[in-house]
Amino acid sequence: MTAVDAAEAGPGRGRATRPAFALLGSLQVTLIFTLAAVAVPLPEIGRRFGLAREELILLSAAYGLTFAGLLLFGGRLADRYGGRRTLLAGLLLFGAASVAAPLAPGYPPLLAARFAQGAGAALVAPAAMAVLRTLFPAPPAYRRAMATWGGLSVLGATAGNLLSGVISALLSWRWAFAAPLAVTILALPLAPRLLPVDEPRARDALHARQPRLDLPGALLATAGIVAVSYGLVLTDARPWTSAHVLGPLLGGGTLLAVFPVVERRTTDPLLPPGFLRDARRALGLVATALTAAGTSTVFVLFSLHLQQERGWSALSASAAFVPFAVVLVVCGRVAGRLVAWRGPGAVTGGGLAAGAAGLGLLALTGFDAKIPYGYGVLPGLVLLPAGAAAAFAGAAVLATDRVPAARTGLAGGVHNTAMEVGPTLVLALLLATGGDRVSLAVAAGLFALAVPLLRLARS
């Protein structure tokens, strides 16, 4: 953050703003890093515990299932009890699970630890965004903070994919939990010192009292998201017509269909019916979900392609994404300034257009093993992150702008839900369309189709 940002952060807050933002940003990167950290060492874990394919799939998805499923509830807890309080509670749970996971003697305790990590992350992520609003109460400074925040998740995913390959090659899968554990140990004593004390909870504009927690809505949303996500994850191992896939999909879909009916009859709904009617917010969430899905699809497909088709080692496959990470970091620093200059709608649209071009290049040449990496894969791995950095920056502002202070945690929960559920949903649908090349071509088309819609968000 610049000196201007510090000045706009509010009286007495400017000096502490930068370290507080650095702490919150580090936590966001760590939460997404943890999501991706077991992806590459998964085969080693399977050999260690003698796991079947479906057990590996569940282990890989466990963190994301509880993370995505509980985000809305975590956001409302942050709105009710305060961002700092909720963040500290989530950190305690996340840290305890990060201790249990590497010490797990077998599959059941490791699976339980991954579920618990995701539950802790679902409290930390929206709470961190609620604290951001307190740090940056002035709208211009808050928009700049959110533009920077938008790229942190994909940076965490990139770091997770890169470092998990290095760790699995040089050490053991158990060391994949060292980073989240170290960050948690550092954050727990720093958070009370650096983060502002929770202010008295702002009353919801529609209520004269503090809103109640919508437990029925939380149960429906959590169970529905978890069931649908689990069903989609299983499509990797079973056909769509399988009872193992159809059961969770239909059950979860039914719960999510009942959710808005219950919400309309609830005095203090978990997700107020009008919250997603704002065109800017809805477009920001769609752009977030698409961009997260596109980048995660590329990681999955090319990690497999480089190892299975080109014969690369896990370490070499991870190294192939170093240019992706470098471009992402560099463009992420520029994207925040672009949002302030051109507006979030224009920057998001430009980012999606660049991302579509990158995905199209990868679809055309990336899977041809006869074309060297430098010509066939690298150009797409440079263009895609450049677009993703811009799209994430602009979409984060669109998704959280104009949100009342009393619903900042909710906005954070919804934004993170789009980022977590988007890859699961879109990846499963893309892989069902055909081969790897077709999947990326369809993803490029979806990016391109979203670009004209962003004109609606330029006001």
The answer to whether 113 touches 100, Cβ cutoff 8 Å, is yes
Task: Please indicate, yes or no, whether residues 308 and 182 belong to a single structural domain of this protein.
Answer: yes
* Distance from C-alpha of 330 to C-alpha of 343, rounded to nearest angstrom: 19
Task: Please indicate, yes or no, whether residues 191 and 222 belong to a single structural domain of this protein.
Answer: no
pLDDT at 205: 45
Across 15-28, average pLDDT:
86
Does 1 map to a domain? no
pLDDT at 209: 54
The amino acid at 356: A
Across 242-257, average pLDDT:
92
Q: pLDDT, tens digit, for every residue of 383-420? A: 999 999 999 999 999 988 888 877 888 888 888 888 88
Where residue 200 falls among pLDDT bands split at 50, 70, 90? low
HSE-CB of 225 using CA atoms within 13 angstroms: 26
The answer to whether 443 touches 300, Cβ cutoff 8 Å, is no
Does 53 map to a domain? yes
Q: What's the Cα-to-Cα distance from 365 to each of 181, 250, 431, rounded to whole Å?
A: 40, 38, 18
Q: What's the Cα-to-Cα distance from 208 to each of 204, 211, 273, 411, rounded to whole Å?
A: 7, 9, 19, 21
Does 4 map to a domain? no
Task: Please indicate, yes or no, whether residues 46 and 110 belong to a single structural domain of this protein.
Answer: yes
Query: Does residue 439 have a pLDDT over 70?
Result: yes
Where residue 118 falls among pLDDT bands split at 50, 70, 90? very high
Task: Please indicate, yes or no, whether residues 256 and 328 belong to a single structural domain of this protein.
Answer: no
Q: 165 or 449, which is more confident?
A: 449
260 φ, ψ to 5°? Answer: -65, -30
Q: What's the Cα-to-Cα distance from 122 to each of 28, 69, 91, rounded to whole Å?
A: 11, 8, 10
Q: What is the CA radius of gyration of the chain?
A: 21
pLDDT at 405: 78
Does 205 map to a domain? no
458 φ, ψ to 5°? Answer: -90, 0
pLDDT at 64: 86
The answer to whether 306 touches 40, Cβ cutoff 8 Å, is no
Query: Does residue 4 have a pLDDT over 50?
Result: no
* Distance from C-alpha of 120 to C-alpha of 70, rounded to nearest angstrom: 9
- CATH code for the domain of 436: 1.20.1250.20
Task: Please indicate, yes or no, whether residues 152 and 262 belong to a single structural domain of this protein.
Answer: no
Does 3 map to a domain? no
pLDDT at 7: 38
pLDDT at 210: 61
Does 284 map to a domain? yes
Does 331 map to a domain? yes
Task: Please indicate, yes or no, whether residues 418 and 296 belong to a single structural domain of this protein.
Answer: yes
Where residue 230 falls among pLDDT bands split at 50, 70, 90? confident
Q: Report how many domains make up the chain.
A: 2
Model-level pTM?
0.84
Where residue 202 falls among pLDDT bands split at 50, 70, 90? very low
Across 246-256, average pLDDT:
93
Task: Please indicate, yes or no, whether residues 159 and 290 belong to a single structural domain of this protein.
Answer: yes
Task: Return the minimum-mean-pLDDT range out of 12-21, 76-85, 142-151.
Answer: 12-21
Find, among 457, 322, 297, the residue nearest to 391 by Cα: 457
Task: Please indicate, yes or no, whether residues 338 and 389 belong to a single structural domain of this protein.
Answer: yes
Where residue 458 falls among pLDDT bands split at 50, 70, 90? low
Domain boundary (230, 247, 267) is at: 267
> In the block, which residue shows the tokens 């699970």?
97
Task: Please indicate, yes or no, whether residues 141 and 127 belong to a single structural domain of this protein.
Answer: yes
Task: Return the minimum-mean-pLDDT range out of 84-88, 159-163, 174-178.
Answer: 159-163
For residue 411, what are the domain limits? 13-196+268-457
Averaged pLDDT score across all residues of the chain: 85
In whole angstroms, what separates CA 394 from the centre of its chain? 15
The amino acid at 28: Q
pLDDT at 119: 95
Across 110-130, average pLDDT:
94
Query: Does residue 277 have a pLDDT over 60?
Result: yes
Task: Please indicate, yes or no, whether residues 153 and 30 belong to a single structural domain of this protein.
Answer: yes
- SS3 for the chain is CCHHHHHHCCCCCHHHHHHHHHHHHHHHHHHHHHHHCCCCCHHHHHHHHCCCHHHHHHHHHHHHHHHHHHHHHHHHHHHHHCHHHHHHHHHHHHHHHHHHHHHCCCHHHHHHHHHHHHHHHHHHHHHHHHHHHHHCCCHHHHHHHHHHHHCHHHHHHHHHHHHHHHHHHHCCHHHHHHHHHHHHHHHHHHHHHHCCCCCCCCCCCCCCCCCCCCHHHHHHHHHHHHHHHHHHHHCCCCCCCCHHHHHHHHHHHHHHHHHHHHHHCCCCCCCCCCCCCCHHHHHHHHHHHHHHHHHHHHHHHHHHHHHHCCCCCHHHHHHCCHHHHHHHHHHHHHHHHHHHHHCHHHHHHHHHHHHHHHHHHHHHHHCCCCCCHHHHCHHHHHHHHHHHHHHHHHHHHHHHCCCCHHHHHHHHHHHHHHHHHHHHHHHHHHHHHCCHHHHHHHHHHHHHHHHHHHHHHCC
Task: Please indicate, yes or no, whether residues 340 and 442 belong to a single structural domain of this protein.
Answer: yes
Across 124-148, average pLDDT:
89
Across 180-197, average pLDDT:
92
Most confidently modeled range among 15-29, 32-46, 421-435: 15-29
Task: Please indicate, yes or no, whether residues 424 and 314 belong to a single structural domain of this protein.
Answer: yes
243 φ, ψ to 5°? Answer: -60, -30
